[in-house]
Chains A and B, each alone.
Chain A
Amino acid sequence: MHNLKEFLFELIDMPGVTGFEDPVRERINAEWSSAGFETKIGKTGALIASKGIRTGDIPRNKVMIAAHMDAIGMVVRSIRGDFIQCAKAGGIDDRVIPGLPVTVYASKGREIPEPIEGYISLPHPKSLKPGDEEGLILLDRLLIDVGLTNAELKEKVNIGDVVSFNTKPFELNSKLICGHSLDNRASVAAVTSFMHEAKDIPKDWEVYCVATSGEEENFNGAITATYEINPNIAIVLDVTFGKGPGSSDWQTFEVGKGITIGFGPNLHPKLVDLAKKVADRFEIPCSLEILPTHSGTDAYAVQIAREGIPTLLIEIPLRYMHSAAEIVSLNDIERASRLIGYIINSLDAKTLEKISWEVENEG
């Protein structure tokens, strides 16, 4: 995909807070349609795209590729004086938010919300509860200043309005991108790139691509979209922990040196083998990511949808997860896109048989 970087920059500069994904979904919808996929919106806000569906033919197997488009953010909870108090939408890290620039999408009396820029102000110790002055200040006690008076706020801002980070994305040297919401827009970009490159769909398979909603809070998008599609195989794309200060153990992976394939009870071991072989054959640098219990991603919901879905997890290393300055490598995004492409191309009429558990237990 020739404009992958530009597309990614656009994606991480627009709101799509968990539970309120409309704006980013619209942009993704336009891009996915231009890649030749048919799109529709699921009942809990996920975007479902398909290619290769032909009615009247012998029913074919379905593969679903899912990446969540929602990002963590905040929601207006009340107006206090000239300030706005927020509630979390997703796992906001209280430790990294004081001082951050944010945008409030003010919707009172409007069809389309008005973006109002402001910041999360660091309160004076005396305005805090005794005991809270030092150390961690929870989001509960932080107030957002958008430079309006109480009367103006009451006129423009509704309880429930979305607030997202407003740190502008930029490039660090050698293809590293820094910005907010790279968890998980980086994966959305990877899926999008695959969709643009995917000229031919294997003849025995229908391909569904889903930008799920709600992953950061309740997996609603993955739960409902997987039910609707009922795929035979699912590939979930998300981000994993990049090596960095204080993050160097077995759970972390170098940014820019390759992607990961998840291994553990949440993922189908035969799909993992299949993916490893494909990665080796096409020389895509890939590490095995050990996930002893659950993966903490959409894969957790997808695996137990319907009567069980063989699930694979591919992850892109990302530094400083859930901060407003996450870092990923464009090279890794491209690798993820290519790996998905090669995996899809390797699917044939015998794939389901090959990954069935029955094969082990003859007689």
Chain B
Amino acid sequence: MKVDLVLLEKLCNAIGVSGGEEEVRELILKEIKDHVAEVLIDTMGNVIARKSKSTEGKPRLLLDAHMDEVGFMIVNHDGDGFYTFQKVGGIDDRILPGLKVLIGENKISGVISSKPIHLASPSERKNSISFDSLKIDTGGNMGIEPGTRAGFGSQFQANKETIFSKAIDDRIGVATLILLAKQEYLNLDLFLTFTVQEEIGLRGAKVTAKSVNPQAAIVVDATPAYDQPTYDDQENSFYNTKLGRGPAIYTLDSGTLYDRRLVNYFEKTAEAAGINFQFRQPGGGGTNAGAVHLANTGIPTISISVPHRSTHSPISSSRIADWENTLLLIEAGLKNFHTTIIN
């Protein structure tokens, strides 16, 4: 399996803020429709695809990636093209001043504006800029209605080794599922779910897991890498994951205790295939697995993510090699899967 940077670029540049995933959904449907037997869109906008219809007692597996990204919603027009807005999903306020945004279906340009430092009081200069003082400036009344969503305006770039883009979380997961959908799996009844609203509470996955009701699930996401030097050059023991060390397998996060049988299975699969991988540090954060594993009578679940730096901001970075190894690991795991693994 090979990475497809053209596909990833299209997906990353698309705007799909939680609740408004249309553009991403349409790209996905175009890509997979010739490679899956069934596809439907449920009441929340999730895409649920089934690889093949003839499944005769094969284990039912679910692959999940979320379509949405963090962004903003316009809540009020203050006049003259200045808009009050709210965040959708977790975004650090400190990356906002001066940020370019693209608003609505027509991707109208705007910039998040704040008082210049020259005019700031001494106490204001000492603190980061308060969220309430920020407005989106579109340069004049563009007729934008409250309720319109806006996303980061940054564009995808890559060099030989590294991707620089917004929404690596989780378009890299979406791209992974699309590429996996183009393979064949004679041993499985494989479902692929492209879910909505993960960033605001795993909302889409709470529903798809119940509908599909698989015997096991693999959630593909992007996970932060905090692998930078500490201010005092002490050992960095809180890195979460590291770039260049391959796909990250989860053991525990705030939403899920991952099924150890699946953790062991993927560890062994990676070792057998000589695929570089790492364990994500157990701790906070979470993926759609938090929703999936508690559906119905419970679903053994694993998360495998691509590490990325500077999460939830206009430019995150990932290693192409880490993505490639993620594809290889999941492909190998799927092709060798049998029910005795989760007896």
Contacts and interface: CB of A to CB of B under 8 A. Distances in A.
Question: Within the complex, are A and B direct neighbours (CB within 8 Å)?
Answer: yes
Interface of A: 249-251, 263-266, 268, 288, 290, 292-294, 303-304, 306-310, 356-358, 360-361
B151 to A, nearest CB: 13
Given A249-B76, A310-B43, A293 B200 contact: yes
Nearest to B42: A308
Contacts of B210: 306-307
B146 A290 contact: yes
Contacts of A249: 76, 84
Contact of B43 (A251, A290, A309, A361): A309
A304 B203 CA distance: 7
A29 B343 CA distance: 49
Contact of A307 (B22, B73, B207): B207
B43 A268 contact: yes
Given A307-B207, A358-B40, 19 more contacts: A250-B84, A250-B146, A265-B18, A265-B19, A265-B20, A265-B88, A290-B146, A293-B86, A293-B201, A304-B207, A307-B210, A308-B42, A308-B44, A308-B46, A310-B43, A357-B41, A358-B41, A361-B26, A361-B29
Nearest to B21: A265
B223 interface: no
Nearest to B89: A293
Contacts of B20: 265
A293 B43 contact: no
Contact of B19 (A264, A310, A360): A264
A358 B89 CA distance: 26
Contacts, number: 74
B206 interface: yes
B215 interface: no
Nearest to A264: B19
A308 B211 CA distance: 9
A238 B262 CA distance: 44
B147 A265 contact: no
B176 interface: no
Given A307-B42, A308-B207, A358-B41, A290 B201 contact: no
Chain A interface helix/strand/loop/mixed = loop
B60 interface: no
Chain B interface helix/strand/loop/mixed = mixed
B317 to A, nearest CB: 27
Contacts of B43: 268, 307-310, 356-357
A307 B48 CA distance: 12
A264 B147 contact: yes
A310 B43 CA distance: 6
A265 B200 contact: yes
A303 B44 contact: yes
6 contacts: A250-B146, A288-B147, A304-B206, A308-B207, A310-B43, A361-B26
Interface of B: 18-20, 22, 25-26, 29, 40-46, 73, 75-76, 84, 86-89, 146-147, 196-197, 200-201, 203, 206-207, 210-211
Contacts of A266: 19
The 4 closest A-B pairs by CB, nearest first: A265-B19, A292-B73, A357-B41, A250-B76
A308 B42 CA distance: 7
Contacts of B18: 265, 293
Contacts of A265: 18-20, 88, 196-197, 200, 203
Contacts of B146: 250, 288, 290
A265 B75 CA distance: 14
A97 to B, nearest CB: 29
A263 B75 contact: no
A293 B200 CA distance: 6
B201 A250 contact: no
Nearest to B77: A250
A5 B200 CA distance: 39
A360 B203 CA distance: 22
B212 to A, nearest CB: 10
Contacts of B86: 290, 292-293
A122 B103 CA distance: 52
Contacts of B41: 356-358, 361
Contacts of A293: 18, 86, 88-89, 200-201
Contacts of A361: 25-26, 29, 41
A356 B41 CA distance: 8
Contacts of B25: 361
B26 A250 contact: no
A356 B40 CA distance: 10
Contacts of B22: 360
Contacts of B40: 358
